[in-house]
């Protein structure tokens, strides 16, 4: 079986978890790589890389590399990678944490609807000041990206009495539209949930013009990738009062700088890219890694293989 290099700090516990998940005597040899300098030094010997985040510009010397198994669903921190040899296959963990991400999107939506940011502040102030808040029932939720997460969000929204419009590259139902109807979907959405991967096609998809297609007072929830939304345009739309609020779990730059204006934008909930951090996060991906190493050696299709051209 191939040698697996784990790029993570700390990584010893992942090595032990891989051994624990492998049938006795059948698991791969695991080498822990603690930092980028060591990864660069070892790049010529690596066959299989198991990593959460990978550096850019290091792949030209990766003469033995056959598989990169990512610890998350997105490949935007790796791709595009013009120096990555074409033979190298990439796999992710698409859908493994869809329940957690969808629940987080719905939690942010409900928090905005029930004005929880304001209520928490007033609780800190011990201020008893009742006020009316909006309801989600009979409102329209637009969902960009009808994959595993988007479909779960849609079911939750429908259970709350909302109308759901979805955007997908492969429209397959009367209310799941193709990319050519994006502007129409935005204009119809009281709540917009972003569940898209970051690719060349989706980068800055929600720019100044498109954010202003949303109805006045609409809420935006992003659990996809930060780069899909133009953050400066979003900040403007919030401060000008066009948008009623936003729930944001992902950002252009992470960790989010303390100087980023979104921290102080009105009616914004910020969470630190934790929507998909389910219990035993890495342990739930290890079976995918082991199965994909087996598939790689057997010449079979990989589970959750990434399309390098599409970017996800």
Q: Which residues contact 230 (CB under 8 A, 6 or more apart)?
A: 204, 206, 207, 208, 211
Q: Given 20, 254, 297, 300, which residue is catalytic?
A: 254
Classified as helix, coil or strand, 247 is: strand
Is position 273 annotated as part of the catalytic site?
yes
Instruction: List helix spans (H) across 127-230.
Output: 148-159, 182-188, 208-211
Sign of CA dihedral 6, 281, 142, 189: negative
Whether the link from the prior residue into 45 is cis, omega within 30° of 0, is no
Is position 181 annotated as part of the catalytic site?
no
- Paired tokens of 290: 């082991």
Q: Given 273, 284, 294, 308, which residue is catalytic?
A: 273
Is position 5 annotated as part of the catalytic site?
no
Classified as helix, coil or strand, 49 is: strand
Sign of CA dihedral 201, 203, 209, 212: positive
Q: Given 5, 89, 225, 304, which residue is catalytic?
A: 225
Active site residues: 225, 254, 273
């Amino acid at each position: 079986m191939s040698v697996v290099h784990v790029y993570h700090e700390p990584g010893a516990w992942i090595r032990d978890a891989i051994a624990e998940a492998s049938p006795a005597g059948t698991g791969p040899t695991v080498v822990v790589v603690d930092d980028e300098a060591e990864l660069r030094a070892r790049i010529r010997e690596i066959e299989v890389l198991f990593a959460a985040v990978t550096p850019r510009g290091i792949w030209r010397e990766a003469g033995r590399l056959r598989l990169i198994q990512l610890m998350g669903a997105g490949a935007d921190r790796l791709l595009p990678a013009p120096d990555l040899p074409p033979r190298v296959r990439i796999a992710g963990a698409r859908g493994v944490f869809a329940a957690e991400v969808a629940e987080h999107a719905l939690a942010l939506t409900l928090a905005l609807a029930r004005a929880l940011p304001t209520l928490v502040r007033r609780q800190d102030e011990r201020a008893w000041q009742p006020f009316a808040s909006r309801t989600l029932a009979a409102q329209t939720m637009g969902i960009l990206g009808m994959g595993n997460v988007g479909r779960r969000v849609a079911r939750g929204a429908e259970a709350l009495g909302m109308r759901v419009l979805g955007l997908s590259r492969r429209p397959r139902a009367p209310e799941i539209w193709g990319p050519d109807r994006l502007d129409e979907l935005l204009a119809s959405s009281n709540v917009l949930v972003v569940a898209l991967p970051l690719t060349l096609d989706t980068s800055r998809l929600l720019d100044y013009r498109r954010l202003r297609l949303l109805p006045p007072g609409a809420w935006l929830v992003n659990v996809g990738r930060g780069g899909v939304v133009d953050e400066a345009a979003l900040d403007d739309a919030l401060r000008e009062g066009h948008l009623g609020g936003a729930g944001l779990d992902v950002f252009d730059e992470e960790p989010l700088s303390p100087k980023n204006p979104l921290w102080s934008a009105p009616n914004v909930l910020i969470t630190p890219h934790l929507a998909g951090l389910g219990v035993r996060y890495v342990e739930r991906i290890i079976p995918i890694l082991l199965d994909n190493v087996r598939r790689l050696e057997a010449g079979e299709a990989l589970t959750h293989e990434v399309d390098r051209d599409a970017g996800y």
